[in-house]
Amino acid sequence: MAGVTTTDAGGGPATSAARVLVQALAALGVEDVVLAPGSRSAPLAYALADATRPEPPAGAPALRLHVRVDERSAGFLALGLARASTVGPDGGSVPPRPVAVVTTSGTAVANLHPAVLEAHHSGLPLVVLTADRPHELRGTGANQTTEQVGVFGPAVRLCLDLPAPDGRSDEARDLRRTVARALAAATGARTGDPGPVHLNVAFREPLVPGPGAWPEPSTVGLTHVQARPVAAVLPTVEPSPGGRRGGAPTIVVAGDDAGLLARRLAEANGWPLLAEPSSGARGGANAIAAYVHLLQHPLLGGSVRRVVVLGRPTLSRPVQRLLGRPDVEVVVIGARGADWPDAARNAAEVLLEPPARMRTGRMRAPEGWLEAWQTADKAAGAAVDGVLDGSFEGRRSRSGTRVTGPVLARAVAEVSAPDDVLVVGSSNPVRDLDLVARWSAPPVVLANRGLAGIDGTISTAAGVALGLPDRRVRALLGDLTFLHDVGGLLRGPLEHVVHLQLVVANDDGGSIFATLEPGEPDRAEVFERVFGTPHGADIAAICAGYGVRHTRVGDVDGLLPALAAPGPGLSVVEVRVDRSGRRALGERLAAQVVAAVADALQD
């Protein structure tokens, strides 16, 4: 039968097996593959190159190939492509498509680990194919050979070690069956728990193809795996008219990747919505922007008796304290994943979907509950704006009023239209955005909140931009995040153009630590060196070295013009941000919000 064996004139078993693997990946839904160069992975590289030719050879599937020289960047680029695939046509969330990433052997494999960990905690289906020496060379001191099997530990849903192909009968069938099993694990078809998988593929020489043809495509071994139903389609939320009030004072906490269901439940029941920027739920009249501060108020946060949690809360200590209170009933709703968010270990219920009484608005909070939060939030927003617009007295440069992190985040939020995509870096940028973003119709906001690391952010944003070419994509990140993944700026001249604006808040260090315990005044002696970590890097020169357009903004007046028109290709807007008063600014914001809310609720 066609395609059953791999013994042909294509350059030996390695070439034939690589071609079968690529055919199987495409047949099972993979559209994008990211490749880092190497020798042992050459059979896969040649097969992928054939699959991306304008006129592929007979038998070669059609794929999009992205080549990066740094495996760290390659891993996060693949992660960004997978993240982009979750964005539906209407901005809502859809199940992610699997994306493959290919490396050679040795340290190349280890460099994928951060991206694999983020994919694991974010539930994104990465298919990691690592080339390896055949078994007879392992443990012999052969060059670039180490123990690759199990290198990612429990972070992968499946790890398989494929022996070097030798052209035996039925080898192609077994390869297809292996890929089918791997894709089912990656997409969570059987478990409802998508995530990364690892196929370690051994190859013997010859590693380059000969003149032979591709094997004829075959379905032999391509096992069809029926997928477990997931909440890709939102449960119907249809509030009953005139729903009875008087239930427990309830709020909805929408963490990362909560989705539109969180907003719909809040609106159906008249509950305040505390939604992180990357929740996919932040918008509408129920969204409370200043919730971090309002949770401190006894009539608001202090009166909460039930919290409905969707997604994974990652940003706020006040939220975590609320979720751990013994007088608060915590209900977690999540249809996907083997685990659920309950860092406070206080969840009373963990549900696959909201119960009927919640979907139909029969759990409405007492009269005036939502209105009190909305009144307080309006007052808090005015107080925040007042502090930010007046916080620059005495902080002027020669060119104009200097910028703070929250002011920059506010400007980015203002220029982000509903059809835009905003990728947000960890540390202060996402928290600043959380404080100031007030959207009635929000953009799509994406972030690496699985482990909330700063690594790979540029590459992730580039993957998002490549995966969503018809949308304007912008990323807001700090200077240390930028420098950590500066290699993500590198794109070879033969690669797809990335249309992406990177907005870098350059405060010459890690200002988030100024807002935490290390930033307390009595700890100032060692702060700058081991926490603030000033670097003095010339971002303009770095961009010039990579051939990336660069604009520097030093004052408030230059912000909106620089952000509003990104233009084509990759560009960097460097915004010089003042961090000298970061802790004092946070304290002043909190004090002014408390005062404004007290006045508003007294009225």
Which tens digit of pLDDT belongs to each residue from 157-176?
A: 999 999 999 999 999 999 99
Which pLDDT score, from 0 to 100, does residue 185 have?
97
Establish whether the linkage from the previous residue to 206 is cis, with ω within 30° of 0: yes
* pLDDT band (50, 70, 90) for residue 244: low
Q: Is 90 exceeded by the pLDDT of residue 567?
A: no
What percent of the chain has pLDDT above 90? 80
How many CB atoms neighbour CB 524 within 10 A? 12
Which pLDDT score, from 0 to 100, does residue 288 have?
98
3-state class (DSSP) for residue 93? strand
Question: Region 171-197: what's the mean pLDDT?
Answer: 96
Q: Is 90 exceeded by the pLDDT of residue 516?
A: no
Q: Is 90 exceeded by the pLDDT of residue 565?
A: no
Q: Is there a contact between 86 and 94 (Cβ–Cβ < 8 Å)?
A: yes
Q: Is there a contact between 457 and 505 (Cβ–Cβ < 8 Å)?
A: no
Q: Is 70 exceeded by the pLDDT of residue 373?
A: yes
Which pLDDT score, from 0 to 100, does residue 488 have?
98
Q: What is the CA radius of gyration of the chain?
A: 26
Which pLDDT score, from 0 to 100, does residue 216 have?
95
* pLDDT band (50, 70, 90) for residue 59: very high
**25-34, 395-404, 579-588: lowest mean pLDDT where?**
395-404
What percent of the chain has pLDDT above 70? 94
Which pLDDT score, from 0 to 100, does residue 9 have?
44
Question: Region 411-432: what's the mean pLDDT?
Answer: 96
Which pLDDT score, from 0 to 100, does residue 235 have?
64
Task: In whole angstroms, give the CA distance from residue 176 to residue 3.
Answer: 10
CA-closest candidate to residue 120, choices 178, 205, 197:
197
What is the 3-state secondary structure of 204-271? Answer: CCCCCCCCCCCCCCCCCCCCCCCCCCCCCCCCCCCCCCCCCCCCCCEEEEECECCCHHHHHHHHHHCC
Which pLDDT score, from 0 to 100, does residue 5 have?
42
Question: Region 422-434: what's the mean pLDDT?
Answer: 96
Q: Is 80 exceeded by the pLDDT of residue 242?
A: no
Which pLDDT score, from 0 to 100, does residue 115 have?
98
**52-61, 334-343, 532-541: lowest mean pLDDT where?**
334-343
Q: Is 80 exceeded by the pLDDT of residue 280?
A: yes
Which pLDDT score, from 0 to 100, does residue 230 have?
58
pTM for this structure?
A: 0.94
Taking the C-alpha atoms of 112, 114, 115 and 121 in order, what is their torsion angle to the nearest 10 degrees?
140
CATH of domain 250-367: 3.40.50.1220
Q: Which fold has domain 396-577?
A: Rossmann fold (3.40.50)
More confident residue, 219 or 398: 219
Location of structure tokens 């078993």 = 13
Which pLDDT score, from 0 to 100, does residue 580 have?
82
Which pLDDT score, from 0 to 100, does residue 2 have?
40
- Read off the amino acid at residue 510: G
Task: In whole angstroms, give the CA distance from residue 499 to residue 474.
Answer: 9
Question: Region 426-435: what's the mean pLDDT?
Answer: 96
Which pLDDT score, from 0 to 100, does residue 234 have?
55
* pLDDT band (50, 70, 90) for residue 393: very low
Which pLDDT score, from 0 to 100, does residue 150 have?
97
Q: To the nearest 5 percent, what fractions of the chain are helix, strand and coil?
A: 40, 15, 45
Whole-number average pLDDT of the chain: 92
* pLDDT band (50, 70, 90) for residue 3: very low
Edge-to-edge strand list for the sheet holding 158-162: 64-67, 32-35, 99-103, 126-132, 197-202, 158-162
Q: Which residues of the chain form CATH 3.40.50.970?
A: 13-202, 396-577
Classify burial at 299, counting beta carbons within 10 Å of its beta carbon; exposed 0-12, middle 13-18, buried 19 or more.
Answer: middle
Which pLDDT score, from 0 to 100, does residue 261 have?
94
* pLDDT band (50, 70, 90) for residue 243: low
Task: In whole angstroms, give the CA distance from residue 581 to residue 232.
Answer: 45
Q: Exposure string (b/e) for 558-583, b if CB count within 10 Å is 16 or more?
A: bbeebbeebeeebbbbbbbbbbebbb
Phi, psi of 35 (to 5 degrees): -125, 130
Q: For the chain, how long is the longest CA-to-CA vector?
A: 84
More confident residue, 472 or 566: 472
Task: In whole angstroms, give the CA distance from residue 372 to residue 379.
Answer: 11
The domain 13-202 is placed in CATH, from the list 3.30.2010.10, 3.40.50.620, 3.40.50.970, 3.40.718.10, at 3.40.50.970
* pLDDT band (50, 70, 90) for residue 6: very low
Q: Is 60 exceeded by the pLDDT of residue 350?
A: yes
Q: Is 90 exceeded by the pLDDT of residue 311?
A: yes
Q: Is 80 exceeded by the pLDDT of residue 1?
A: no
Which pLDDT score, from 0 to 100, does residue 458 have?
98
Task: In whole angstroms, give the CA distance from residue 57 to residue 15.
Answer: 14
Q: Measured between alpha carbons, how far apart are the two ends of the chain, in Å?
A: 82
More confident residue, 94 or 400: 94
Strands 473-478 and 306-310: unpaired
Q: Which residues of the chain form CATH 3.40.50.1220?
A: 250-367
Classify burial at 51, counting beta carbons within 10 Å of its beta carbon; exposed 0-12, middle 13-18, buried 19 or more.
Answer: buried
Q: Is 80 exceeded by the pLDDT of residue 376?
A: yes
